[in-house]
Amino acid sequence: MKKIFFLFGVLLLGMTTSCEKFLTREPENEIGSINFMTKEADLELYANGFIQRHMPGEETLAWGDQYSDITATRTSTSFLIRDTWTADLQGGWSGGSSGTWSELRNVNYFLDNLPKARANVSDEVYRHYEGVGRFWRAYFYYGMVQTFGDVPWYEKALEVDEQELLMKPRDSREYVMQKVLEDLNFASENCSIDPKYVASSTVVNKWVALAFKSRVCLFEGTYRKYHPKNPSTGKDWENGGQGVDLFLKEAANAAQILIDAQVYGLVNNPSNVSTQYRSLFTSEALNTREVILGIKFQADVRMHSMTWKLFSASFGNNWSLTQDFVNHYLHLDGSRFTDDPNYMTKNYQENFVNRDNRLKQTVVGPDYERRVGGTVRKDAPNFALTSTGYQLIKWAIDDDVHVGIATSNNSVPMFRYAEVLLNYAEAKAELGEFGIPEWNNSIRLLRERAGVDGASPTSADPYLANYYHNVSDMWLLEIRRERTVELVHENLRYDDLMRWRLGEKTAQTWNGIYFAAKDTPYDLNNDGIMDVAVVDAEPPAASRVPGVVYVVLGSSYRLTNGTSGNLEFGFQQSREWSDRKYLRPIPTTALQMNNNLEQNYHWK
């Protein structure tokens, strides 16, 4: 969904003066001289522009999951509020010199003009940059297909007089995704593995292409499996849905090649088990052992505001994880937390006892410490910053010097080796080709990195089977568990819900920590200071306990059992789900400009 909030205009711009300028002018990487793009330095310069224009920003990567089932936010998106969204409100199709389709034109312009350099660069360099261009074209179309389904396919930069092409109807999703696969195959076979492209983990290379291919193909294969009909047309998939196995095999193969290359691996030092996972998201340096592609930040050079937003009562969206999410984590011995008959009444502190080490590296736990005013001290969940009690810290630097100012310098991964292992495992399991060997080479590695016994399961988890109600396979349930905890807030959860056909979970009420009673202050981290109390009405000043945040039940909060239970939040937001929301509508403006475009089936 994060890919669809951009407000641009329309693709078919040849009908206005501004459109003609857009279609005929040189792309913005500019240098429109006929002598440009004739040597390797030119190709490198142009390709670096794709990084700036196409890669999602740090906040998209960190907050892209915010409108999902496992993250509570104090405000939601209009798309999920009731069922009032219309094609008139929809953007994200195209428009202007910086709009969506101009991004594609820049890529196609690059590919169209690449032959100008052939005589001046080696064949290896030429093929590398063609692969880079085709990677970004695949990246563009993957986002468009996720958002709109069927879209027109263009593989050359259009000119203003090509009205027939400009006014063409949408191509089928099956056709477009086959072309995307062709582009990714070329990129993964031809992009270079020269250290100058690989060492920094900041530019596209063969390994990046393979990682992305595993993501794209897993998405498309599972999307077609769990959606029996193409939501763009309301009809069966072309060729009887044969693309399911095709894309799942391509996902598994791409991941397998990357795994076998042994270029990357999990950061795993048993002595750092309580910190090494989170260090991937809070360190200035991209950990090139595990990070395949990321965004580099550096103190006093390039910084961002993520820590500020996580610790600001007014600047952020109070990103908070849910009890359902926390229930996914196993005990350190590999046993299931939800097998305990009393798990539903465990308090905040009990939720962290002997749990997977990733839990306390993702949310504020009872032992969490950070630097405040220059002094390191224990810090409890702050209900001015969290709506559930499970306060997100995965992307935060533990120093309040970054609160109130955009000085965070932690670099941001986009593709990690951990995701490749998960893509491999899920694709193989969906194909029915998953067993103990595949488990040991994927899920077991992730669990043992977190200090969890990595032994394979012996039965399906009934808690997960209820939560992911369209799956009963033991392996798939455990893979979904692992994907949930390992990749939380890495811009993948919403897409997972869409491909698994679990969109209704975006409308569920969020549940937080368990309170045994109202009107009782709780010390959440045993530092001798009371932190929170749940009340029907905020007490008068004279009766307030110092340091306590009073959570008032009523319009925004309630307890599941009335006077006790999990703190519930989000029911006041009127979020609703309907199946048509698996795709966005084609914007009305686009349909008006090109009557050959057809509205998505459920939005007609």
- pLDDT tens, residue by residue, 114-159: 999 999 999 999 999 999 999 999 999 999 999 999 999 999 998 8
Question: Once rounded to an integer, what is the mean pLDDT over residues 367-375?
Answer: 97
Tell me what pLDDT residue 18 has: 31
pLDDT at 503 over 90: yes
Among 20-29, 56-65, 327-336, 444-453, the least confident range: 20-29
CB-CB neighbours of 148 under 10 Å: 23
Q: Which two tokens stand for residue 425?
A: 């495992």
- Give the tens place of pLDDT for each residue, 431-483: 999 999 999 999 999 999 999 999 999 999 999 999 999 999 999 999 999 99
pLDDT band at 571 (very low <50, low <70, confident <90, very high): very high
Map residue 107 onto helix, strand or coil.
Answer: helix
Contact 262, 255 (CB under 8 A): no
Considering the chain, what is the average pLDDT of its residues? 92
Tell me what pLDDT residue 22 has: 32
Specify the residue for token string 């196609």: 108
CA distance 99 to 13: 11
The torsion angles phi and psi of 412, rounded to 5 degrees, stand at: -125, 115
Specify the residue for token string 């798309």: 79
Question: Once rounded to an integer, what is the mean pLDDT over residues 518-533?
Answer: 96
Q: Which two tokens stand for residue 251?
A: 């996902």
The torsion angles phi and psi of 286, rounded to 5 degrees, stand at: -70, 130
- Give the tens place of pLDDT for each residue, 280-310: 999 999 999 999 999 999 999 999 999 999 9
DSSP secondary structure string for all residues of 161-190: T-HHHHT--PBPHHHHHHHHHHHHHHHHHH
Contact 93, 8 (CB under 8 A): yes
pLDDT band at 34 (very low <50, low <70, confident <90, very high): low
pLDDT at 178 over 50: yes
Tell me what pLDDT residue 292 has: 98
pLDDT at 364 over 90: yes
pLDDT at 111 over 60: yes
CA distance 503 to 69: 9
Nearest in space to 64 (alpha carbons), one of 557, 497, 548, 505: 497
Q: Which two tokens stand for residue 401?
A: 């010097």
Quote the Cα angle for 402-408-411, to 5°.
155
Tell me what pLDDT residue 257 has: 98
Q: Which two tokens stand for residue 408?
A: 């965070």
pLDDT at 201 over 50: yes
Helices 40-54 and 123-148 cross at an angle (nearest 10°) of: 20
Question: Once rounded to an integer, what is the mean pLDDT over residues 410-415?
Answer: 98
Specify the residue for token string 């291919």: 213
Most confident of 92-96, 156-160, 256-260: 256-260
Largest CA distance in the chain: 82
Q: Which residues make Cβ contacts (< 8 Å) with residue 186, sequence separation at least 6?
A: 130, 131, 134
Map residue 383 onto helix, strand or coil.
Answer: coil
pLDDT band at 183 (very low <50, low <70, confident <90, very high): very high
Gyration radius of the chain's alpha carbons? 25
Among 11-15, 226-230, 294-298, 335-339, the least confident range: 11-15
Question: Once rounded to an integer, what is the mean pLDDT over residues 49-78?
Answer: 94
pLDDT at 368 over 70: yes
pLDDT at 24 over 80: no
Label residues 262-292 b or e (16+ Cβ within 10 Å = b). ebbebbbeeeebeebbbebbbeebbbeebbb
Among 31-45, 99-113, 161-175, 453-467, the least confident range: 31-45
Tell me what pLDDT residue 20 has: 33
Nearest in space to 257 (alpha carbons), one of 202, 208, 201, 199: 208
pLDDT at 96 over 90: no
pLDDT at 250 over 90: yes
Question: Once rounded to an integer, what is the mean pLDDT over residues 11-22?
Answer: 32
Tell me what pLDDT residue 562 has: 96
Question: Once rounded to an integer, what is the mean pLDDT over residues 575-587?
Answer: 97
Residues found in the chain: 604
Specify the residue for token string 């002018």: 25
The torsion angles phi and psi of 439, rounded to 5 degrees, stand at: -60, -50
Q: Which two tokens stand for residue 375?
A: 């002094």
Percent of the chain with pLDDT over 70: 93
Q: Which residues make Cβ contacts (< 8 Å) with residue 462, sequence separation at least 6?
A: none
Residue 562 CA: distances (Å) to CA of 334, 351, 521, 522 = 34, 21, 17, 18
Among 21-25, 134-138, 400-404, 467-471, the least confident range: 21-25
Question: Once rounded to an integer, what is the mean pLDDT over residues 534-552?
Answer: 95
What CA dihedral angle connects 54, 59, 64 and 68, to 10 degrees? -170
Q: Select the more confidently predicted residue: 21 or 48.
A: 48
CA distance 194 to 200: 11
